[in-house]
Amino acid sequence: MALTITCPICGKRNGYEFKFGGEEKGPRPDEKDLTPEAWCGYVHMNNCVAGVQKEWWFHRDGCGSWFTIYRDTTTNFEVEKAEATK
Amino acid sequence: MFSKQKPLWGKKKKLKSSYDVVLIGGGLHSLATAYFLAKEHGITDIAIIEKNFIGFGGAGRNTAIVRANQRTQHNIPLYKEALDLWPVLTKDLDYNLMFNNCGNLNLMHSEAAMKAARMTISTAQFHGVESHLIDAKDAKDLVPALNISDDITFPIHGAMFHPPGGIVRHDAVVWGLAKGAAEKGVEIHQQTEALAIGTNNGKVTSVTTSGGVINTKQVLISAGGYSAGLINGMLGIKLPISVLTIQAMVTQPLKPLLNHVVSSGAYHCYANQTLKGEIATGAHMDPWPNYTNLSTAHFIKHQAEALCEFLPCLQGVRFMRIWGGLADMTPDMAPILEGNNHIDGFFMNCGWGYFGFKSCSSAGKYMAEYMATNECPDMLKPFALKRYEEHKLMGETAALVNYSPDN
């Protein structure tokens, strides 16, 4: 199913213009006292939610912005933040 | 599916309050695990818990290709054994699995690809798997329909030919294994959803399902693309998995023209002719994780363009059906098989990406050994989850959305 993504600069565009940048995992962990487990968690581990998740996108064939959106992985539809974090 | 006719795997039974082993997911890996647990280890008090119907997920959505020409030393033996098991299972299950070992022809479109193929072929040959490098003319001799001219987007330089591979009728494997397992006493509970896994002092105690609570000491989550979400949701164990929808389609039935599975990395396309005559073709993955199982116009166009270039005789042929299934991709294109690690009695078998079908027979066999003995068989040792933390990722080519520049 086709996907549209709303870029904060360019507005709603075809999903194929964008590159998926991974699930939002919070800030990069501090390198001080960083364990292999924590680093692996940040780099590789995913929640794999069947439902709404916060995720990163890159407007590759457009303005080049990196931004986050909320999307329902079972429908591919974007979800408003107010709705997603209710 | 739920008609009044008695299915091959026996009448619907009432869910008991306890089983020795509970398998979550009614796909091929679960069915094979149950079959081998019963056949080789005498464990028959098993419930398979399936939310929809057996074969609903990847088991019925893959394009039925089997092969053992992967890239690394750890993977090849597992897939080789899976390949060797098809004729054995056909006999043991007394069920026609329609194994057509027509061979796989993997097209190479550059000198760099030829070089990569040489390495892959060497690994296969080292492990006793037949695989050869051939030039474009030989490829044309094998598949006369191929366009080996220079005026296509990706001219064919040569190919990797793997004769022992081929196609197996995926539904037949589902039905055959279900029948074989049920005959030995395994219960298959369809339309029953697993909701939670109960633990106490780091040990599995129960599985809560939509049909009631089951007391058990061993549980396996082997639910294809849905595994990672279930494992995280039920036990809070995160996995390095991205779940992508992968699409496939078939054309109208044609006279026999493809007697090998043909695939191309550069065109991102593979094609084989089913025993019914349809050209089954696919390979496009959505470049973002999703559970939609839906197909896209984008892919139909891509597939038509690719096929028209390297198999020009297909121009004008109609696509009849298109569908999608889930592939749970790991960063190193190799699965995760674990047991008794986080919680005693909890096993997982997931992360197969789009290799779940070709591996189901051997993976089921070894997972059964793992569960019966509580000791990890040597064959499965390389596939532990710990490898990501230790930076020991396998050298299969990763095709994960947010890791690789392509896809």
Å between A25 CA and nearest CA of chain B: 12
In a shared domain, residues B300 and B396:
no
In degrees and rounded to multiples of 5, residue B161 shows phi and psi of -110, 125
CB A21 within 8 A of CB A56: yes
In a shared domain, residues B192 and B263:
no
Nearest to B389 among A21, A36, A49 (CB): A36
In a shared domain, residues B94 and B177:
yes
Please indicate whether, in this complex, the C-beta atoms of A73 and B243 are within 8 angstroms of each other: yes
pLDDT band at B8 (very low <50, low <70, confident <90, very high): confident
Residue finishing a domain among B292, B310, B329: B329
In a shared domain, residues B91 and B181:
yes
Å between A55 CA and nearest CA of chain B: 10
pTM of model > 0.90: yes
- Interval B182-241: pLDDT, tens: 999 999 999 999 999 999 999 999 999 999 999 999 999 999 999 999 999 999 999 999
In a shared domain, residues B210 and B354:
yes
pLDDT at B398: 54
CB A60 within 8 A of CB A17: yes
pLDDT at B405: 44
In a shared domain, residues B301 and B312:
yes
Please indicate whether, in this complex, the C-beta atoms of B292 and A49 are within 8 angstroms of each other: no
pLDDT at B12 over 90: no
Place of tokens 């581990």: A45
Q: How many domains does chain B have?
A: 2
Domain with B122, as residue range(s), is 104-163+242-329
Sequence-distant contacts of B399-402: CB under 8 A, at least 24 apart: B399/B285, B399/B329, B399/B333, B399/B353, B400/B242, B400/B329, B400/B330, B400/B331, B401/A20, B401/B242, B401/B244, B401/B287, B401/B288, B401/B289, B401/B329, B402/A19, B402/A20, B402/A21, B402/A22, B402/B242
Please indicate whether, in this complex, the C-beta atoms of A36 and B390 are within 8 angstroms of each other: yes
- Interval A42-60: pLDDT, tens: 999 999 999 999 999 999 9
pLDDT at B403 over 90: no
Q: In CATH, what number is assigned to the domain containing residue B210?
A: 3.50.50.60
In a shared domain, residues B181 and B87:
yes
Domain with A15, as residue range(s), is 4-84
Close Cβ partners of B151 (under 8 Å, ≥ 6 residues apart): none
Residue finishing a domain among B329, B361, B393: B329
pLDDT at B6: 77
Residue finishing a domain among B296, B312, B329: B329
Q: How many domains does chain A have?
A: 1
Please indicate whether, in this complex, the C-beta atoms of B228 and A46 are within 8 angstroms of each other: yes
Please indicate whether, in this complex, the C-beta atoms of A46 and B401 are within 8 angstroms of each other: no
pLDDT at B1: 55
In a shared domain, residues B346 and B389:
yes
Å between A72 CA and nearest CA of chain B: 8
CA B263 to chain centre: 17
Q: In CATH, what number is assigned to the domain containing residue A71?
A: 3.30.2270.10
State whether residue A45 sits within 8 Å of chain B by CB. yes
Q: How far apart are CA B204 and CA A31, in angstroms?
A: 36
In a shared domain, residues B284 and B233:
no
Helix (H, G, I), strand (E, B) or coil at B189: strand
ipTM of the complex: 0.93
pLDDT at B271 over 90: yes
pLDDT at B91 over 70: yes
Place of tokens 């009728």: B169
pLDDT at B402: 54
Nearest to A45 among B239, B243, B289 (CB): B239
Q: A76 to chain B: which residues are within 8 Å by CB?
A: 288, 290, 292, 294
Close Cβ partners of A78 (under 8 Å, ≥ 6 residues apart): A4, A5, A6, A69, A70, A71
Nearest to A48 among B243, B295, B389 (CB): B243
What DSSP designation does A17 have? G
**Span B9-21, mean pLDDT?**
92
